[in-house]
């Protein structure tokens, strides 16, 4: 990290903006008066940061990104709302993120260590966890909530108010209009569950035994012979010793504004959990 802040002569930094130590502001960047930029941030070139936007330490933002624009929501009346981006995020070309709306949460929040690839959009009032990856062209409508360690594939789109649990994976080209439980894979138009995100679970260090137990909990929860509410209580009793299973159960017990994404009636599991090394 460079020790001194550098601002290119062609960049515009409005009075009132707060710029941290060791920041690099490249050619043709624009930083508004209500912006706060943390230490060691690099704006490569042609980056626009406006509105009440805070960028955490160590972020790198690539050309043509626009952060802090007004929400694309006619219900917003122009009140001061915010966008906060956490530490050590990489934001690639043509990414857009909007501030919140003044009739809702009022804030859009992106966690630490996120990797937001080219042409992605994060709409107003979304909350994104830590270590989340958005592949090229992934888009969120307003009010979405994304857990930690989630991967969202390229050209996927999420309906407003959708929740995605920790460690889930949204496959490329998926249209998600309902909530996705933790640890699951969602695929298709419209999305269906295809079992567990086994690759992600392996990478996280989860043991084979725990993954297989989690898979049994998954099959119990989505047993179509019983109502979901009954399945939740059965799973709660049987898998109370599994922290991961309880995260899914608690997610299902807390209803949001969208229904839940379910597996298809046939072929409900296609995750290779039985073939773990």
Catalytically active residues are 124-125, 142
Check if the beta carbon of residue 184 is closer than 8 Å to that of residue 218: yes
Closest CA to 151 of 141, 165, 205, 142: 165
Check if the beta carbon of residue 252 is closer than 8 Å to that of residue 263: no
Residues in Cβ contact with 82 at an 8 Å cutoff, skipping those fewer than 6 apart: 51, 52, 53, 54, 99, 100, 106, 107, 108
In a 3-state reduction of DSSP, which class is residue 44? coil
Residue corresponding to tokens 């515009």: 12
Q: Cα-flanking dihedrals φ and ψ of residue 26, to 5°? A: -80, -175
Question: Residue 69 pairs with which residues in a beta bridge?
Answer: 98
Question: Residue 90 pairs with which residues in a beta bridge?
Answer: 60, 115
Residues in Cβ contact with 258 at an 8 Å cutoff, skipping those fewer than 6 apart: 159, 161, 162, 163, 177, 178, 179
């Amino acid at each position: 990290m460079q020790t001194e802040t550098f601002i290119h002569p062609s960049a515009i930094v409005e009075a009132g903006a707060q710029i941290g130590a060791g920041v690099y502001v490249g050619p043709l960047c624009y930083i508004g008066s209500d912006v706060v930029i943390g230490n060691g941030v690099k704006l490569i070139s042609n980056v626009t940061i406006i509105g009440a936007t805070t960028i955490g330490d160590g972020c790198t933002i690539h050309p043509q990104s626009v952060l802090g624009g007004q929400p694309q929501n006619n219900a917003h009346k122009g009140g001061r709302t915010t966008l906060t981006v956490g530490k050590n995020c990489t934001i690639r070309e043509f990414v857009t993120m909007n501030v919140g709306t003044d009739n809702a949460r009022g804030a859009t929040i992106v966690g630490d260590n996120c990797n937001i690839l080219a042409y992605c959009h994060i709409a107003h009032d979304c909350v994104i966890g830590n270590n989340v990856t958005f592949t090229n062209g992934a888009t969120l409508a307003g009010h979405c909530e994304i857990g930690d360690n989630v991967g969202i594939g390229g050209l996927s789109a999420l309906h407003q108010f959708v929740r995605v649990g920790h460690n889930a994976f949204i496959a490329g080209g998926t249209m998600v209009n309902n909530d996705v439980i933790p640890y699951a894979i969602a695929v298709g138009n419209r999305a269906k569950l295809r079992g567990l995100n086994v690759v992600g679970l392996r990478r996280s260090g989860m043991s084979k035994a725990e993954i297989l137990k989690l898979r049994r909990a998954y099959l119990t929860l989505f047993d179509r012979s019983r109502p979901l509410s009954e399945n939740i209580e059965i799973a709660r009793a049987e898998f109370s010793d599994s922290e991961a299973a309880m995260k899914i159960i608690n997610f299902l017990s807390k209803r949001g504004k969208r229904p839940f994404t379910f597996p298809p009636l046939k072929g409900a599991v296609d995750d290779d959990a039985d073939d773990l090394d």
